[in-house]
Amino acid sequence: VISGTFETLRSQVKSESCVLTVCDSPVVIWPNKGVKATPDEITPDTLCEEIHQVYLILKKPEFKLLIKLHKLSLSVLINLSLTHHHTHYSSVKLLSHCKRFVFWCCSACERLVEALAHQLCEMEKVTLQHMKGTSLLVPEPFHFLLPEPAGLVTVVYPAGVPDSQLETQRKELHQQFELPDDRPYFRRANAYHFPNEPYRDGYLRNPHLVLTHPTLDDGKVYLVQGIYSYHHYMQDRMDDNGWGCAYRSLQTICSWFQQQGYVERPVPTHREIQQALVDVGDKQPSFVGSRQWIGSIEVQAVLNQLLGVTSKIMFVSQGSELASKGRELANHFLTEGTPVMIGGGVLTTGQIRYLILDPHYTGAEDLQVITDKGWCGWKGPDFWDQTAYYNLCLPQRPKMT
């Protein structure tokens, strides 16, 4: 029955009732008809029947199968509910303010249909592999952006089965795509996030990506690798203004390890950070619930206690010495790629610039304000106290994953 159902789905994908819509775009495609629609042809008052029933549903109104290929988000809709027994078609508010249209070639449509059919095959395999009696686990497709030439690939996992139980499958995928074993690529946290999809937790990701790199003679840019969340003062209904900056920097680092798939635990709260320091013997029990500062050494201890992550500490006796650490920092970003926490005074001289994510920001999650006001930005010599000392915490990637 399961195999027959998936075969029916594959047939429908290859039939003329299949419709592709590009998310957040006025593009409507019937890949198996060679038909496309322009904004002038479709309006909010256009009947479903007139546009080949573009907004058609699979039995349940909430069902919507999503396929994403080459970083382009597409919705796939199939007409099953509107049959010959229904003679009245309601209009669909589909498009408005359409300004552009993308033309598709037949070969691209064929590849999209083939990819979707293949994904359904993989979903069938996973469903059959993990069924127990009449109990079924929902097959969930995940999309992973791999190093070239692989690009974006789709892998299906059974819902409810933790990553720790899928290690054999992930090892096979690493071998298939000739990927190293010292970092995660196929854990759920590694799944590609399309630009127009909002994050449910509300935190901004990688605000530095909207910045323009500084211009230096013969200069090279070395950046954090992967994805992190921006944590700063006053988030999570927590008033830590004036004392919680290192806690927030630590949370940003923890988010990096979580979103790269190294750990599954959520980003720790202030209280969990304080309790970890008590557990390792660094603080007294009264420290929990206090408003006391922490620094780079404490960040190093918490990363090891909660995540099992080791860190190197780089000590700089005064800000004017930071320029001499440029190559060492560049090598860190090149080999480890983790965010660096700066504790002590506040780094740079000469022909070096530092990309700083400042946890002292107290406003809303407004990317333009954060970048325009310099809360995330490239900093030059005038930004730093040249006489203050600094401890830099450089987290290291785990070597075995």
CB 74, CB 65: distance < 8 Å:
no
Selecting among 240, 270, 358, 376, the annotated active-site residue is 358
Tell me phi and psi for residue 190, to 5 degrees. -85, -5
Selecting among 245, 254, 376, 393, the annotated active-site residue is 245
Concatenate the DSSP letters of all residues of 290-330 into one string: ------HHHHHHHIIIII---EEEEEESSGGGGGGGHHHHH
Q: Is 360 a catalytic residue?
A: yes
Phi-psi region of 119 (alpha: psi -120 to 50; beta: other; left: phi over 0): alpha
Q: What CA–CA distance (Å, rounded) separates 260 from 339? A: 12
Tell me phi and psi for residue 234, to 5 degrees. 75, 5
- 13-17 long-range contacts, Cβ below 8 Å, gap at least 24? 13/76, 13/78, 13/113, 13/116, 13/117, 13/120, 14/113, 14/117, 15/78, 16/52, 17/53, 17/56, 17/78, 17/79, 17/80
Q: What CA–CA distance (Å, rounded) separates 288 from 269? A: 11
Q: Is 385 a catalytic residue?
A: no
Q: Based on DSSP, count helices (H) and strands (E) in the chain, helices before strands.
A: 8, 12
Q: In 133-160, which positions are buried (b, 16+ CB within 10 angstroms) versus exposed (e)?
A: eeeebebbbbbbebeeeeeebbbbbbee
If DSSP codes are grouped into helix, strand and coil, which group holds residue 74?
A: strand
Selecting among 45, 118, 360, 372, the annotated active-site residue is 360
Q: Is 48 a catalytic residue?
A: no
Name the residues annotated as catalytic. Answer: 245, 358, 360
